[in-house]
Amino acid sequence: MTKVSPRMQRVADQIQRELALLIQLEVNDPRVGMVSVTGVKVSRDLAHADVYVTVMGSVDGESSLKPGVTLDRIGALDKLEIDESIKALNSAAGYLRTLLAKRLSLRTTPKLNFHFDESVARGQYLSSLIDRAIAEDSEHQS
């Protein structure tokens, strides 16, 4: 596993902050709903950046994480919404890269590649499992 240099981490953090604002203010694609940038990983030469996002409307609703529903079986509509948002962001990556270049003082601006971050959905699912286990445990004790 390669160690991330402090400069790479600072650049990734700055890209994350700027992209969060740019997506909110500049992307007018209706396929992009409420998107949150959860992380950015930049390559060692700062030529590429993997941007991890979550789509707020799909993962945090009660429809997708009912008890007994695993992450593999997130609703088809939610999965379609996520895929469309990621496609729209990847198609706007060049535009976002141009805007990012104007805001950052880097020699080269990294090429952006957007990915869906399942960690938020996984965390919510595990939290619901823990809550259900605590509720069942309290029922057995009473």
Mean pLDDT of 10-22: 95
Look up the pTM and report it.
0.76
H-type alpha helices, the chain: 6-26, 56-59, 76-91, 93-103, 119-141
Please state, in angstroms and rounded to a whole number, the distance separating the CA atoms of residues 13 and 121.
22
Edge-to-edge strands, sheet with 48-55 = 35-42, 48-55, 111-116
pLDDT of residue 131 exceeding 70, the answer is yes
DSSP 35: E
In the structure, what pLDDT confidence band is assigned to residue 119 with cuts at 50, 70 and 90? Answer: confident
Q: What percent of the chain has pLDDT over 70?
A: 83
pLDDT digits (tens, 9 = 90+) for 32-43: 888 999 999 999
Pick the CATH number of 6-141 from 3.30.300.20, 3.40.50.720, 3.30.450.20, 1.10.10.10: 3.30.300.20
Please state, in angstroms and rounded to a whole number, the distance separating the CA atoms of residues 13 and 27.
20
DSSP 85: H
pLDDT at 49: 96
> How many CB atoms are located within 10 Å of the residue 13 CB?
13
pLDDT of residue 48 exceeding 60, the answer is yes
CA–CA distance from 65 to each of 57, 104, 121 (Å)?
A: 13, 38, 8
Domain assignments of the chain as residue spans, ordered by start: 6-141
pLDDT of residue 125 exceeding 90, the answer is no
pLDDT at 100: 95
> How many CB atoms are located within 10 Å of the residue 94 CB?
11
Residues 120/104, Cβ–Cβ less than 8 Å: no
- Residue 79 CA, chain-centre distance (Å), reads 14
